[in-house]
Amino acid sequence: MTSEAQLLALHEGTRLKLKATALLAEGGDAERFEACVLFHAAARAERRALLAVEAPTAEARLRVAIEVCGCLVDGLDPGGVVGAWGEVLEASEGIDRRARQALRARIDRTFAAFVRGYERVRAKTAPLWSALERRAPIDGSLASMVDQVLSSYPGDALFWSLRSQLHFERGAGSIEAAWDAIRRARRLAPEDAAHRGWEIYLAACSRRPEAESLLDVALAEARRGEAPIRVCEAFVASVLALHEAGQSSKQRLQQARDVAVLGAGLADATREERKLLRAFQLIAEDLLAGRPASPEALYRAGLGHLVHPGTKSGSLLEMLASRTFPHRHAVAA
């Protein structure tokens, strides 16, 4: 029996897809991006519809996986499509071959065509992909390839986040572009904690009016035990960066220390994440005691291998911040 929650989610998904299709018909880069946002929202609605079913059949799970994959193909999100295709393959297990072929006939062709197009773009931007895979610095010429990928796939939130970080490294004149890019990533993937963490840090470091409210929301979630580890890390890194610039209160420093402790206590925190948060905690405690940030905090946290001769307070905090956000280590100014 179809539940009310399932019907609402299905209706929402249909409405979003119709609106996205209408936007695409209008043409233009702005409309294309907005359509990508709507297709991503439609994919989330499809997943919610399945969650509302108490005991979905294997066929029902496959239909939803196919629908989600199709939404992300239309939403021009290669990373999302790859993940969704895995869900299609998983959901296909245990279903009769003929039934499976009938259900997947269209999505199999669609996925194959999407992959061919994606491989062509990757071939044209091969140095960028090689650098990302090697975690090597991305210089100006490679930064232009990020824009090239986004021109073909504006639904890829990860590349919008990377574009934001590249603009941030260029300095004050590019901060608005950095903010626009991370806001796009957030609209495409609002539940992604890594993008949210970068948004918090960027807002704090660029003194945006949104910074305090973003920090307050993260703090409240951390106190309830609901903040993802990435958000806890971003909160602490942001407050310490503000303090280094003379823009943070003692109360915020106390909050940063507390959030570092709370984050390190999360069940899903990895050993390295706990070390990073321990280092942040020790630095916050030094600053609260009126002492400058010291490399000793890294040694005490088990991160002494990061210390190099001449490491000072500012570079120490920058070093830790660079480990907090994906791809920042690979961004060269």
Cβ atoms 250, 290 nearer than 8 A: no
Which pLDDT score, from 0 to 100, does residue 313 have?
A: 61
Q: Per-residue confidence at 332, pLDDT binned at 50, 70, 90? A: very low
pLDDT tens, residue by residue, 157-200: 999 999 998 898 888 789 999 999 999 999 999 999 999 999 99
pLDDT tens, residue by residue, 73-85: 999 999 999 999 9
Which pLDDT score, from 0 to 100, does residue 2 have?
A: 59
- With a CB cutoff of 8 Å and minimum separation 6, the contacts of 322 are 328, 329
- Residue 331, beta-bridge partner list: 138
Which pLDDT score, from 0 to 100, does residue 305 have?
A: 86
How would you label 307-322 residue by residue, b for 16+ Cβ within 10 Å and e otherwise?
Answer: beeeeebeebbebbbe
Please give the average per-residue pLDDT across 13-31, as a whole number: 91
How would you label 231-264 residue by residue, b for 16+ Cβ within 10 Å and e otherwise?
Answer: bbbbbbbbbbbbbbeeebeeebbebbbbbbbbbb
Spatial separation of the C-alpha atoms in residues 194 and 263, rounded to whole Å: 14
Cβ atoms 224, 186 nearer than 8 A: no
Report the chain's mean pLDDT, rounded to a whole number.
Answer: 90
pLDDT tens, residue by residue, 190-249: 999 999 999 999 999 999 999 999 999 999 999 999 999 999 999 999 999 999 888 888
